[in-house]
Amino acid sequence: MAGLLATKSAIADVPELAAQALRLELDLTPKPGLVDRANNGSHQDMDHALFLKSIAAIAPWFRVFAEAGKAHAQKPASEQLRLLRPMGMACEQAMFTATGGVNTHKGGIFSLGLLCFAAGRLQGQGRMVSADALCQQVSEICCGLVARELADRPQAITAGEKQFRQYGLTGARGEAEQGFITVRRAVLPYWHQEHGERRLHNALLRLMAANRDSNLVSRGGIEGLHYVQDYAARLLVTGWDSDALREMDKALMARRLSPGGSADLLAVAWVLAGL
Ligand SMILES: CC(C)(COP(=O)(O)OP(=O)(O)OC[C@H]1O[C@@H](n2cnc3c(N)ncnc32)[C@H](O)[C@@H]1O)[C@@H](O)C(=O)NCCC(=O)NCCS
Ligand SMILES: Nc1ncnc2c1ncn2[C@@H]1O[C@H](COP(=O)(O)OP(=O)(O)OP(=O)(O)O)[C@@H](O)[C@H]1O
């Protein structure tokens, strides 16, 4: 009985954890190149207030995704993305309406939306919602996504397709299809070594060092990605404090670099670690 109660409360919490994750990610300061409480990082078209509006518009959708996952739980995993996608796009539309057309959370909606949907799916199947089970579900739901949407295209047209052709970068799709492998390898094993804000900063640095963030490539080319990866890896080796993070913030702003994919994965880490 105690196990059953624990399972139920964990399931109910995933949409709430996801909304919480977006708020914590936003408020974490300093955050190199990203919008935080102190500055707009490398962005001209968004600030903290705009991100708050975006979160308010997106958060109610997380429960919608979870309910949809539950309602379709008995259908094969291969059919799920086709069901979820129109809802994900409607949520993107709600974000664009709230922000006046600015892309504040497209990546976050994708990754967290999949987690919420997968949680509902597990619940509908009467299964335990653990981090491993959620990642496994997301991976099954996204099976073949990289091949369909990046690899099998005859011509590379979009930025994502070009980055895949040139550097093998699979972006948010690849991370989801691999069950958030970067979060599971680079962040979760170290999660309990730190506490409070330092834990989140450390996780963000680990993500920036490991993640092949397509945002960095679209802003600064492959050199931009390597610059941020090397910078973060160096801080993890030498040690860091708030001053070091502020220095890194300045360096990324000077180069117009924004590790938005790693910010999204920090939110994913919060949800997975919270289970
Ligand atoms: C797949 C999506 C995200 C495609 O976007 P795009 O081609 O721009 O892909 P790309 O991976 O380059 O970047 C999108 C965003 O993901 C984030 N991101 C970038 N790199 C990474 C990475 N390595 N890991 C995780 N997230 C990343 C960034 O925030 C970025 O802005 C998408 O827009 C989409 O299909 N939306 C429809 C809604 C949907 O399917 N939702 C399903 C769940 S609700
Ligand atoms: N705190 C944050 N600050 C900035 N970006 C963030 C933050 N958290 C998450 N992101 C992610 O970064 C992405 C925005 O990056 P970016 O502005 O480079 O994208 P874009 O609008 O598609 O490109 P561009 O501005 O170069 O035209 C969002 O999709 C969002 O998911």
Atom of ligand 2 nearest to the CA of 106: 29
Q: Is 216 in the pocket of ligand 2 (CB under 6 A)?
A: no
* Tens of pLDDT, residues 262-275: 999 999 999 999 99
* Tens of pLDDT, residues 78-122: 999 999 999 999 999 999 999 999 999 999 999 999 999 999 999
* Tens of pLDDT, residues 155-166: 777 888 889 999
* Residue identifier of the C-alpha nearest atom 8 of ligand 2: 263
ipTM, interface predicted TM-score of the complex:
0.94
- Percent residues over pLDDT 70 in the chain: 96
Tell me which of 264, 265, 268 to substitute to probe ligand 2's pocket, judged by most ligand atoms within 8 Å of the beta carbon: 264
Question: How does the average pLDDT of the chain come out, rounded?
Answer: 94
Å from CA of 34 to ligand 2 middle: 8
Sorted by where each begins, the domain ranges of the chain are 2-273
Å from CA of 209 to ligand 1 middle: 19
Å from CA of 19 to ligand 1 middle: 18
CATH fold of the domain at 2-273: Triphosphoribosyl-dephospho-CoA protein (1.10.4200)
Q: Is 199 in the pocket of ligand 1 (CB under 6 A)?
A: no
Q: Is 260 in the pocket of ligand 2 (CB under 6 A)?
A: yes
HEC string of the chain equals CHHHHHHHHHHHHHHHHHHHHHHHHHHCCCCCCCCCCCCCCCCCCCCHHHHHHHHHHHHHHHHHHHHHHHHCCCCCHHHHHHHHHHHHHHHHHHHHHHHCCCCCCHHHHHHHHHHHHHHHHHHHCCCCCCHHHHHHHHHHHCCCHHHHHHHCCCCCCCHHHHHHHHHCCCHHHHHHHCCCHHHHHHCHHHHHHCCHHHHHHHHHHHHHHHCCCHHHHHHHHHHHHHHHHHHHHHHHHHCCCHHHHHHHHHHHHHCCCCCHHHHHHHHHHHHHHCC
Enumerate residues 6+ apart whose C-beta is below 8 A from 257. Answer: 33, 42, 216, 219, 220, 224, 227, 228
Å from CA of 264 to ligand 1 middle: 9
Residues with pLDDT less than 70, the chain: 1-12
Å from CA of 42 to ligand 2 middle: 9
pLDDT score at 158: 82
pLDDT score at 8: 43
pLDDT score at 156: 72
Starting from the CA of residue 115, give the closest ligand: 1
Specify the pTM.
0.95
Å from CA of 260 to ligand 2 middle: 5
Starting from the CA of residue 29, give the closest ligand: 2
pLDDT score at 48: 98
